[in-house]
């Protein structure tokens, strides 16, 4: 490729992907926002960081500076840069295996210094009363204080400047009940964050309100839709009439140019209605949908629901139905790989991201291991990010010390991480995976219980 063609290729690729590509030199990470992660070597990090910082793109200057820094020829740098950019183009189009500059490594062989995603629950207030709500909304909306808009902006600034995270989701409760949401989206966008909204959709059925979100710079939205018909959806969310508003919100958000998909929590009350939901979404032209299990905290504590033993057959049947329409089925929940291997079943790699890949912030500024926890491990209003992230309780979760006894010898331990620790807390037993566990001495089980109680410390919403 000639110098002129390389310049044209690089300029076109960078300008079309500038908002999608984030290079983090602190841990040599390429983040394709919001959450696709690739590790880079030092020279690739350096070239991409410099390239995406240029406005306008100047390949000749980049090649000359890189050649001088690493004491190699400009021809070698230009060739490497071409392969690197071709690889990014292929990765973005989901053809990673064909990328010339990509090689596979063992899972867990690289370490991140910072989270990949962030979320702020602006409020625990909500119009709905979902029986499984992990946050126990709307009841907790009356007792948990909410940050002022100025305080939320302070937290957003720390997400950018200290936590080095390139994306933020506004969640709840129901974030659209927070009056200054559009202003917060605008502030986040101004700081370079990709912004996402996790919503029940009721307020977003209003075109005028969605226009405000669009003007503020909202990138995407995830709308909670629990069934394909009003009877089941409204019963699950405890709000008659919610279904029509939620469905209208999907259309309104999409019409405004906001990337929108639906998410559904699989549970015993909507299970039979889920095939019809997929049919409905296919009729609406949705390219993909996401689903998850009930999280065993909040309103779901003590309420029997679908178990790890059963979820595999449910998920695979729903995935097959969605794929039959050409829709992508996205699965969010961590599950034991010995019961359902999501990688082998083309569901992606899911594991617990508590105090690891996710920075989760409560309405009062507390940092939670994830949004399903009640107690925090620090508060970003009063402390710096690194001070919180380095605490022993944070490292307990990040180092996966909650891993069930007997899992450590499993060949999939680094990618599975034992599934959701809050699920096991609520179950009180590892019976479901017992056939796959190796025998562990009594003292090791005792140490595990001690660490869970005194080092892990924090527990799920409503769990004593």
Do 122 and 92 share a structural domain? Answer: no
Distances (CA, A) of 230 to 32, 240, 241, 244: 36, 8, 7, 7
User: pTM for the complete prediction?
Assistant: 0.94
Q: What is the pLDDT of residue 381?
A: 97
Q: What is the pLDDT of residue 1?
A: 60
CATH code, domain carrying 235: 3.20.20.70
Q: What is the pLDDT of residue 278?
A: 99
In a domain, 185, yes or no: yes
Q: What is the pLDDT of residue 93?
A: 85
136: its two tokens: 């126990």
Distances (CA, A) of 93 to 17, 87, 115, 318, 426: 12, 10, 24, 25, 40
In a domain, 343, yes or no: yes
Q: What is the pLDDT of residue 462?
A: 80
| CB of 135 closer than 8 Å to CB of 373 | no
H-helix segments, 169-241? 181-190, 207-216, 230-237
Do 282 and 228 share a structural domain? Answer: yes
Q: Domain tally for the chain? A: 2
Nearest to 267 by CA among 311, 301, 329: 311
Boundaries of domain holding 32 = 3-98
Q: Distance between CA atoms of 345 and 251, rounded to whole angstroms? A: 31
Q: What is the pLDDT of residue 100?
A: 72
198: its two tokens: 């996790």
Residue ranges of the chain whose pLDDT lies below 50:
none
Burial of 106 (0-12, 13-18, 19+ CB in 10 A): exposed
Q: What is the pLDDT of residue 102?
A: 67
Distances (CA, A) of 138 to 171, 266, 300, 364, 462: 13, 20, 14, 16, 14
* Sheet with 21-24: strands ordered across: 21-24, 29-32, 36-39
398: its two tokens: 């990040």
Domain boundary among 394, 420, 435: 394
Q: What is the pLDDT of residue 101?
A: 64
Do 129 and 69 share a structural domain? Answer: no
Tokens 């019409």 map to which residue?
Answer: 255
Q: What is the pLDDT of residue 464?
A: 62
């Amino acid at each position: 490729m000639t110098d002129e063609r390389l310049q044209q290729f690089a300029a076109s690729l960078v300008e079309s992907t500038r908002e999608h590509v984030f290079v983090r030199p602190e841990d040599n990470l390429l983040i394709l926002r919001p959450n696709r992660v690739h590790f880079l070597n030092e020279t690739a990090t350096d070239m991409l960081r410099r390239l995406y910082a240029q406005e306008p793109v100047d390949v000749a200057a980049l090649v000359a500076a890189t050649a001088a820094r690493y004491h190699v020829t400009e021809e070698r740098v230009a060739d490497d840069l071409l392969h690197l950019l071709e690889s990014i183009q292929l990765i973005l189009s989901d053809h990673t295996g064909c990328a010339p500059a990509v090689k596979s490594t063992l899972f867990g062989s690289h370490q991140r210094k910072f989270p990949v995603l962030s979320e702020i629950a602006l409020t625990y207030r909500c119009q709905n009363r979902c029986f499984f709500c992990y946050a126990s909304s709307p009841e907790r909306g009356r007792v948990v204080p909410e940050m002022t808009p100025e305080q939320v902006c302070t937290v957003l600034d720390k997400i950018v400047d200290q936590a080095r995270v390139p994306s933020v989701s506004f969640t709840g409760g129901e974030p659209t009940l927070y009056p200054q949401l559009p202003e917060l989206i605008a502030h986040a966008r101004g700081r370079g964050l990709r912004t996402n909204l996790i919503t029940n959709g009721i307020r977003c059925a209003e075109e005028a309100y969605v226009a405000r979100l669009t003007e503020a710079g909202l990138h995407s939205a995830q709308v909670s839709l629990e069934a394909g018909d009003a009877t089941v959806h409204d019963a699950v969310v405890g709000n008659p009439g919610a279904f029509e508003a939620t469905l209208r919100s999907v259309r309104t958000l999409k019409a405004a140019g906001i990337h929108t998909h639906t998410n559904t929590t699989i549970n015993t009350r909507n299970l039979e209605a889920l095939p019809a939901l997929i049919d409905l979404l296919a009729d609406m032209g949705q390219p993909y949908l996401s689903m998850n299990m009930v999280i065993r905290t909040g309103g779901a504590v003590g309420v029997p629901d679908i178990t790890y033993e059963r979820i595999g057959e449910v998920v695979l049947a729903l995935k097959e139905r969605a794929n039959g329409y050409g829709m992508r089925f996205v699965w969010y929940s961590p599950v034991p790989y010995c019961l359902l291997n999501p990688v082998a079943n083309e569901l992606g790699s899911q594991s617990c991201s508590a105090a690891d890949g996710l920075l989760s912030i409560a309405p009062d500024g507390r940092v939670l291991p994830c949004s399903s926890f009640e107690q925090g491990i620090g508060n970003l209003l009063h402390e710096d990010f690194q001070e919180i992230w380095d605490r022993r309780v944070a490292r307990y979760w990040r180092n996966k010390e909650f891993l069930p006894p007997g899992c450590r010898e499993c060949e999939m331990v680094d990618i599975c991480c034992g599934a959701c620790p809050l699920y096991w807390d609520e179950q009180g037993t590892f019976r479901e995976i017992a056939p796959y566990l190796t025998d562990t001495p009594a003292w090791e089980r005792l140490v595990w219980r001690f660490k869970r109680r005194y080092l892990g410390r924090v527990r799920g919403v409503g769990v004593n």
